[in-house]
Amino acid sequence: MNPRLIGGEMPVWTDRDPVRGAALVPLLAAAARGRVLVAGPHDPALLDALPPADLTLLVRGLPDARRLAERYPDATVCCGDLAKLAAEPPFDTVVALDGLGRLSSAEAEPPPWAEAFALLLGALRPGGTLLLGVENMVGTHRLIAFAPDPATAGWSPADTHDPGRPAGLDRLRAHLTAAGLGTPAVYAAWPSPAAPEVLLGEAACADDDLRGWATAALARACRTTAPALTDPARLAVDALRHGAAAHLAPAWIVTARRGDTGADTDVAAVAGAEVVRRRDGHWWRHRAGGAERVPAGRTLTEVVTAAVLRRDLPAVREALGAWQDSTAAGVHADQIVVDRAGTLTALAAPGDPVLALHALAADLLGGGLPLPWPGPLDEAGLTRLLAAMTGRDVDPPTGTPRRTGPLTVRELTAERDRLARELADARAQAAWRERALTERETALDQAWRLVALLSDTGPARAGRALLGGFKAARGTARAVVRRLR
Amino acid sequence: MHHANHYYGHSHVLARWCGLDPRRPPRIRGYLQHGWNIGDGMAGDHSYVPGVPTLVWSERTRRRAWALGRHDTYVVGAPWAYLLRMSPEPDAPREGTIWYPFHGWEGQRVVGDHARLVDEIRATEPGPVTVCLYWQEFQSPRLRRRYERAGFRVVCHGYRGGRYRDLDPDFLDRQLAEQRRHARVASNRLSSAVLYGALAGCEPAVYGDPMVLENEDPSLGGQDRIRREWPELHGPRPDPAAARAVAAAELGADRLLPPAELRRILGWPDEYQETYVDDAALPGIRR
């Protein structure tokens, strides 16, 4: 019978937001061997990547189980609590990318993390492979989040205060090793535990050669317009730059083999492509159609931002000029890698160069950086200035700026402060201009009167009369003097 | 914006660089540094308006201005450096020294022994000497004669201008032409003129009694600090290459903005400004 009700099943429950993401597919495909158990809610696109013959799926909600049974008639679909799965013979591969939080049923006391982990591990035979997702309780996704709505927190929201849950990446590794999983490979996953789009192995997080590529991938994956405390893309890229990417990732994806002592972490993945460091020390990108060398370097946005902060305008000019003179002119600067020789490699398809400049301007302004150009500068104004630095005169979109980034508290506060400052400045300048105008008007008035008096034309009749009177008096006086002589 | 932007024809030179009519440059959106100093680059007696940026010559001045509390400050380079880029070096031999005795500005007075200075110049300078006086001093026949009697040629580059009047758009051109006739530039104080000369290809020197400006404010370190911080330019024979590098940095010659970019920074052209009218075409002129 499919689905099999193993106990603890929840008749009207559905787990929303199953873990998903094309970046997970290569890991899944590489790990799945023999009898495979997939525990917890997983997106069908991930399940499709698995051989259906020896596949067992475990979910706790009956509607979910029925849907799966319909979609995968050859798989064994179990519905119920993980604890009830103990009777099953062990599996060669156990997949729990959604984590351990949604494996227990409402019918039982929710197990602490370590207990759930032990139960899951119990389903794995010696030498088998575990693929596990672990949410980072201080991942960037949590650092930027507003307070959650208590009403929707579920019936077991105590994860963050579970003393047995490995605290941080190092303790997670130690926990896995102590459980007999050798040296696990841990991939830092962005932008969220439920939908990772970028996976970075340990070496991928640390190797400067891959930084440009990884930065571009993070900028792309974390781009969002959802409200947040601060821009997740900026935070993720900062974390990568400062060597904290592995520790601040929203989730870790672990692949580990029972009894194995070695793991390959020289891997990074995004949707549709996997990047691997070969023995030659270089990173190669594998995708359908072949492999290509990943350019080593930094993104153009990073190069420009660093030069802007150093106030090195010649360097900014050079970087912008090289970009706008190249075929990558229409590619967003955060999707271009600049290698040490200054060669640009575009990681995305080109669009309109003006919009690409506009995006860079928005990025520079949104970062709240001290810019080396006098303000007040809006996105259109800075776009024109950046274009002028390349010798171009462009006409960017004006009017109400289109919000390209997220609506964040940090950016909103900065914007409010900027507007308040600009208003105060504008008032002071208006007062100064009033004074200057009055001064200049007075000077002009006096100059005109003088011109009229001296030119003997125009409307200065009163002045002429004055001069005329003076001349007449002088004439009379002279006549009197002549007669007296 | 500020009338001091027109001093020495600075705004005129920048208008020329920007491809605008240099006869009447538009208002600059900001306060332009108009002389080299060891403070924030700006004149202490001007009033500044919040939100109006300060445009200084060099990165060093910008950093110093920041440290002195002037944060809304940006580097554009000195008008002199722009002028040099626009004026090709003439193919003529250079000879002698152009010497700038330290001077006060409008309303200021310098106290010092000019006779002793004359002796020191004669003892130091190998060739003919041209003494350049500020217009106030140039108007004093007594002072002019003092230098002429020593056998020096005496010149004046022109008026600085003030409050939009007596503007002298050709001031820097005259100064450049004069400096390019000379092999050396010297003064008793490190000043804009010495830095200008060094950048214009003269061998610079700073020596002799620096004299005292009446009511001079030494709060920023005064002459002692200048000698300590810029030793490359002091003495009768400093290393010309090192001095020139310092001058280029102080004048922001390495930071000049291309015309299109400078136009954006200065807020040019002024969309309200009307075409310049020649004297002969002024309304009301009888022909």
Other Cβ atoms closer than 10 A to A106? 14
Quote the pLDDT of residue B208: 92
Could you confirm whether domain B87-250 is CATH 3.40.50?
A: yes
| ∠ Cα A214 A216 A221 (to 5°) | 90
Q: With contact defined as beta carbons under 8 Å apart, do A88 and A35 qualify?
A: no
**Residues 6+ positions from B139 with CB-CB distance below 8 Å:** none
User: Considering chain A, what is the average pLDDT of its residues?
Assistant: 88
Quote the pLDDT of residue A44: 96
Residue A263 has pLDDT above 90, yes or no: no
H helices present in A17-139, as ranges: 24-31, 44-47, 62-71, 113-122
Quote the pLDDT of residue A310: 95
Identify which of A385, A393, A429 has the shortest CB distance to residue B49.
A429
Quote the pLDDT of residue A278: 85
Q: Spell out which residues of chain A touch residue B75, defining contact as CB-CB under 8 Å.
A: 311, 313, 372
Q: In angstroms, rounded to a whole number, what is the distance separating the alpha carbons of residues A475 and A86? A: 130
Query: What is the phi-psi region of residue A111: left when phi exceeds 0, alpha when psi lies from -120 to 50, beta otherwise?
Result: beta
Could you say which architecture CATH assigns to the domain A4-150+159-293?
3-Layer(aba) Sandwich (3.40)
Q: Which residue of A has its CA nearest to B63?
A: A311
Q: In angstroms, rounded to a whole number, what is the distance separating the alpha carbons of residues A316 and A176? A: 47
H helices present in A207-312, as ranges: 211-221, 232-241, 245-248, 300-309
Residue B121 has pLDDT above 90, yes or no: yes
Distances from the Cα of A150 to the Cα of A12, A157, A304, A458, angstroms: 22, 9, 43, 83
Give A332-364 pLDDT, tens digit per residue. 999 999 999 999 999 999 999 999 999 999 999
Q: In angstroms, rounded to a whole number, what is the distance separating the alpha carbons of residues A350 and A332? A: 8
Query: What is the phi-psi region of residue B215: left when phi exceeds 0, alpha when psi lies from -120 to 50, beta otherwise?
Result: left
Cβ–Cβ below 8 Å for B284 and A458: yes
- Match 């099953």 to its residue by tokens: A88
Domain boundaries, chain A: 4-150+159-293, 298-407, 424-481
Domain boundaries, chain B: 3-85+254-270, 87-250
Q: In angstroms, rounded to a whole number, what is the distance separating the alpha carbons of residues A270 and A274? A: 6
User: Testing the interface with A: which of B55, B254, B264, B265 to mutate, by most A Cβ within 10 A?
Assistant: B264
Confidence of residue A58 (pLDDT cuts 50, 70, 90): very high
Which of B139, B180, B181 has its CA nearest to residue B156? B139
Structure tokens at B233: 């330019």
Give A372-416 pLDDT, tens digit per residue. 999 888 889 999 999 999 999 888 776 555 556 678 899 889 889
Quote the pLDDT of residue A483: 56
Other Cβ atoms closer than 10 A to A98? 26
Identify which of B30, B50, B258 has the shortest CB distance to residue A391.
B258
- Match 């491809």 to its residue by tokens: B19
Tell me the shortest Cα–Cα distance from B262 to chain A, in angstroms: 9
- Across the A/B interface, how many CB contacts are shorter than 8 Å? 60
- Assign A273 to helix, strand or coil: strand
Q: In angstroms, rounded to a whole number, what is the distance separating the alpha carbons of residues B173 and B9? A: 9
Is the peptide bond preceding residue A396 cis, with omega within 30 degrees of 0?
Answer: no
Cβ–Cβ below 8 Å for A425 and B29: no
- The strand ranges marked E within A117-184 are 124-135
Structure tokens at A209: 């050669």
Cβ–Cβ below 8 Å for B75 and A374: no
User: Testing the interface with B: which of A357, A432, A446 to mutate, by most B Cβ within 10 A?
Assistant: A432
Cβ–Cβ below 8 Å for B258 and A373: no
Tell me the shortest Cα–Cα distance from B113 to chain A, in angstroms: 41
Q: Spell out which residues of chain A touch residue B260, defining contact as CB-CB under 8 Å.
A: 388, 391-393
- In sequence order, what DSSP letters do the residues of A217-240 get, joined into one string? HHHHHT---S-BSS-HHHHHHHHH
Identify which of A374, A421, A432 has the shortest CB distance to residue B74.
A374
Q: With contact defined as beta carbons under 8 Å apart, do A75 and A57 qualify?
A: yes
Tell me the shortest Cα–Cα distance from B59 to chain A, in angstroms: 8
Quote the pLDDT of residue A466: 57
